[in-house]
Structure 1
Amino acid sequence: MIDLREFFNINISADRMVAELVYTEEYLANQELEVTAESVTKLLAEYNIKYGIQQSNVDQLVSNITLEDFPLKIAKGKEPIHGIDGKVDYKINFHPEIEKTDNWNFRDVMQIPSVEKGDKLVEISMPTTGVEGIDVYGNVVSSKPGKPVNLKPGKNVQFDEKSQSFFAEEVGQASMHGNLIQVHPVYEVTDTLSMKEGNLDFPGTIVIRGNVPSGFRVHAGGDVKIYGMVEAATILAKGSVYISEGFSGLHKGYMEAGENIHIGYINQGMVQTAGNLYVENSILHSDCVVGRELVCERGSIIGGQISAGETIQVNHVGNHMNTKTVLVLGRSHKELEKLEKLEAEKKEIEDTLEKLSIIGDKLSQTPNLESNPQLVATLKRQKASYDKNQAQLNSVNEQLRSMASNSDLNQAKLTVTGNLYGNTTITFGKYTRVMNTEHAQVEFELLRNEIYMRSI
């Protein structure tokens, strides 16, 4: 029987799922070679190929094959079928945002996901285990089981094991934070907030039908909706904040949201949101930190410092008086300031450690050190001080690592649909560009480590 190894090789794919027959130079010189089924079987056995042999291709090799038919698939394994992840079937819409069509009215800001007692909120399906495969060597190839759904019932929510569903136990607003499903009852103030109610601290949603005067504090575990205006007060919400009029903070008021903020205007206010900030009119002399997108399409940003993690869309920036205005993309200006302080602190600690190390080395090399109680005490203080500073350095380094930027500056963008006036500073991460002349309808991006401006 002819030994086909002189004329053919078998290549096995990296995943061991495909075996292909290729010819050698010896075969080119002996194309009239008579190949038998037995010799092919022997060749496969020598390569230890046991599963998925393509009999039709073996027959072709034996009876009638041309060079164009190579490489010839001689065996094919059975691919494993991986398990399907568990799925979540939402029975209500957990997102209060309204679809922004061409006719979108800025004041139409939300639809509260309200539920009645007993309403089904979410139904989940269990993952599947999958089906094992077999490679061309006959080995079992394990399948990956699907991942289960990681959801937990929170306040006023019950999970029914039989139906694999979550149900509301109270009337209120359904919300989902991370993997926790909750129902928050709504607390409503029917007029302007006053000493009758005092400061509000409520785990659900707060609705105020009037204004929030200076000095008050409103803290909600859900959303805050205010139908009037906010003066120099503090508004905190784990959800979103909706203010029909505006925020006149007098450089004392503070507003923070875990999700989005929708507002008429911001004047001398401090604002921070992990999500988006939508401003109907203008932002004046304020300090704003926005996690994702800032939209101020019909108004101006004049003065102050404004940061957005992703994009800023604004009509006008600055004014004819060239009021200094700072816009920061990709990271917040507060983070940049903290990073600068941490780097300075790190340098100071490292310098101190170097000096302490020199002192320690000199003390340790002192002859008859142990017979001098004063020097021994000094060395102990040096070691204690060194350990303390080393612990501080480790803490600073940990903070620097935790603040490592995950933002993609190449995706950040500033769009000015109206005028951009002089004395405007634009920053993308560590890159800064100062605009001293007026421009109209421009867009800024970071390209090849430079802040690039183009007309729109």
Structure 2
Amino acid sequence: METYRVRDYFQLKTAENKLSAVVDAFSPPEDSSWSTEEWMAFLQEEGITYGILEKNIERLGSDPLSVVYPLEVARGIPPVNGTSAYIEPARFDKGEKEEEDPAEVDLKNVIHIAMVEAGAYTGRKVEAEPGENGTGVDGSDLQAKAGKDFPLRPGKNTRVEGNDIYAVQAGQVSVRKKTIHVNPLYEVKGDLDLKTGNIDFTGNIMVRGNVPSGFELKAQGDIRVLGTVEAAVLTASGSIFINAGVNARNKGSIEAGHSVHATYLNEADVSAGADIVVKQTVMHSRCTAGGSLICNQGRGLVIGGIISAVHEINVNEAGNSMNTPTSFYIGATHGYVERRRQLEQALYEAKEESTKVSDLLKTIQSKEENGISLSSKERVMKLRARNTLEAAKDKARDAAEELEESAHVSPNPESGIIRVGKTLHSNVDVHFGKYRRVMNKSHDRAVVFMEEGEITLNVT
């Protein structure tokens, strides 16, 4: 009886991240069989030493022809990245309650104003954690990324003791990514109107009514609006809290250095350095979050528009049954992807222009080298061509440098995730950096993420 070697009819494939190894078959003879020991020796020869799935090896040893290939034979332990340092604000007792419409979603946590006295504890820095390394199927150490740290410095009207932050005077607490400020408060008792005018304040701004179209609010601290914001411009170095919601009609903008909180967004342009948290619906809006976009309380509905977030998009329902186009950008925001596309196009056009102008210059210079005098028109053309060539080279160099710089600071799209608690409708397109996938049918309880260079959809 002829002796068959395992490697003559099978090959082993190891994942690029070394977290999985599978066996694939070439068409082994029907009378072939190999012992468990022979399979283990084959794995050893291929460098697979860790996380071996013994039950699957036994299946290969007992009846390899009945196995559905490829078959996973080893599984590593993925590294667990560390937690970055962050600011944890103190829990403040709620004092005065704001009047609210009982029909609205409870936003007490959003509109509560944390006022403190001098010397009060306002929060602390929670230290970064290093993470835990994983192990590859070849026994190698898979390095975890340590959480990012930052130096804790006192904010406006605060002092630091170790990792604790205290107020040095009375005021309103404003939490930032890397510190806490205690700001003075500018308060508008009702709606913003012509009598009040636009506001540009060094601390926090509180509007107890509505902000109509055409007005501007600018705060170095936080902005809190207890009513509705229309097509206005709100800019805050801290966070923006809107008790009701935003009806912007695709005008105005809302921009926060930290987070934005609202009940709903309708045709709004919203950006936040950290999270965007919406209680009910996001309709036909353009949202860009440096952290996550969360819309999973109440209806948790997102329809139309462009939603961008670096870490996570977490909603109850994405799109609708009418297949309204809805775009999700995760890891790399829509603005980042669009800018990369523009730079790549500019680089291509500059190179094309350089090639054409260089060919023209060579033709003109060839005439001169052959002793042919240039006409006045050709001399002007030569001068213009040289200037055009230099401009094209500068354009190409600038685009190439910006592309290189953006590559170093770009977010990692593979670390982002999209979670849809109820329904992910068709015609929702998801983008992970340069990768794109359009949903061609609806899915319930969907999770979308990057795996092995592909956009993966899991239904839980």
Q: TM-score range by the shorter chain?
A: 0.5 to 0.7
Q: Which of 388, 395, 400 is the aligned partner of 1:392? A: 395
* Aligned-residue offset at 1:333: 1.5
Taking the TM superposition and a 5 Å limit, the aligned residue runs for 1:86-235 are: 95=89, 107-109=108-110, 114=115, 116=117, 171-173=170-172, 183-235=182-234
1:153-196 Cα distance to aligned partner (Å, 9 max, x none): 77667999xx9x99977543466868888653221111111111
Does 2:407 align with 1:408? no
Does 2:454 align with 1:450? yes
Alignment partners' CA distance in 1, 2:404 and 2:154: 33
> 1:312: which partner in 2?
313
TM-score, length-scaled by structure 1:
0.64
* Aligned-residue offset at 1:442: 1.2
- Give the letter for the 1:391 counterpart: D
* Aligned-residue offset at 1:200: 1.2
Alignment partners' CA distance in 2, 1:381 and 1:418: 62
Greater Rg over alpha carbons, structure? 1
Q: Cα RMSD between the aligned structures?
A: 3.6
Q: 1:107 to 1:324 in 2, by over 3 A?
A: farther
Give me the identity figure in percent: 33
Q: 1:371 to 1:453 in 2, by over 3 A?
A: closer
Alignment partners' CA distance in 1, 2:156 and 2:92: 26
Q: 1:231 to 1:95 in 2, by over 3 A?
A: same
Q: 1:97 to 1:371 in 2, by over 3 A?
A: farther
> 1:278: which partner in 2?
277
1:221-249 Cα distance to aligned partner (Å, 9 max, x none): 11111111111111111111111110111
* Aligned-residue offset at 1:271: 0.9
Q: 1:453 to 1:234 in 2, by over 3 A?
A: same
Q: Is the 8 A contact 1:97 1:109 kept in 2?
A: no
* Aligned-residue offset at 1:381: 2.9
Alignment partners' CA distance in 2, 1:329 and 1:120: 36
* Aligned-residue offset at 1:119: 7.3
Q: 1:410 to 1:175 in 2, by over 3 A?
A: same
- Give the letter for the 2:274 counterpart: G
Q: Is the 8 A contact 1:369 1:376 kept in 2?
A: no
Q: Which of 415, 425, 432 is the aligned partner of 1:428? A: 432
Alignment partners' CA distance in 2, 1:376 and 1:172: 72
Q: Is the 8 A contact 1:295 1:313 kept in 2?
A: yes
Q: Is the 8 A contact 1:305 1:325 kept in 2?
A: yes
Q: Is the 8 A contact 1:96 1:112 kept in 2?
A: no
Taking the TM superposition and a 5 Å limit, the aligned residue runs for 1:318-329 are: 318-329=319-330
Q: 1:421 to 1:154 in 2, by over 3 A?
A: closer
* Number of equivalences: 335
Q: 1:319 to 1:390 in 2, by over 3 A?
A: same
TM-score, length-scaled by structure 2:
0.64
Q: 1:290 to 1:151 in 2, by over 3 A?
A: closer
SS of 1:294 mapped into structure 2:
strand
Q: Report which stretch shifted further, 334-343 or 248-257.
A: 334-343
Alignment partners' CA distance in 2, 1:443 and 1:167: 41
Q: 1:307 to 1:351 in 2, by over 3 A?
A: same
Alignment partners' CA distance in 1, 2:345 and 2:433: 18
> 1:290: which partner in 2?
289
The unaligned stretches of length 5 or more in structure 1 are 1-87, 124-148
SS of 1:230 mapped into structure 2:
coil
The unaligned stretches of length 5 or more in structure 2 are 1-84, 94-104, 125-149
Q: 1:381 to 1:121 in 2, by over 3 A?
A: same
> 2:45: which partner in 1?
none
Q: 1:178 to 1:247 in 2, by over 3 A?
A: closer
Q: 1:328 to 1:380 in 2, by over 3 A?
A: same
1:389-438 Cα distance to aligned partner (Å, 9 max, x none): 22222222222223225322222111111112221111111111111212
Alignment partners' CA distance in 2, 1:151 and 1:197: 37
Q: Is the 8 A contact 1:173 1:186 kept in 2?
A: yes
1:55-78 Cα distance to aligned partner (Å, 9 max, x none): xxxxxxxxxxxxxxxxxxxxxxxx
Alignment partners' CA distance in 1, 2:123 and 2:224: 26
Does 2:348 align with 1:347? yes
> 1:440: which partner in 2?
444
Alignment partners' CA distance in 2, 1:153 and 1:286: 36
- Give the letter for the 2:307 counterpart: I
Q: 1:204 to 1:359 in 2, by over 3 A?
A: same
Alignment partners' CA distance in 1, 2:267 and 2:440: 24
Q: Is the 8 A contact 2:200 2:218 kept in 1?
A: yes
1:7-27 Cα distance to aligned partner (Å, 9 max, x none): xxxxxxxxxxxxxxxxxxxxx
Q: Is the 8 A contact 1:96 1:110 kept in 2?
A: no
Q: Is the 8 A contact 1:174 1:183 kept in 2?
A: yes
1:34-58 Cα distance to aligned partner (Å, 9 max, x none): xxxxxxxxxxxxxxxxxxxxxxxxx
SS of 2:423 mapped into structure 1:
strand
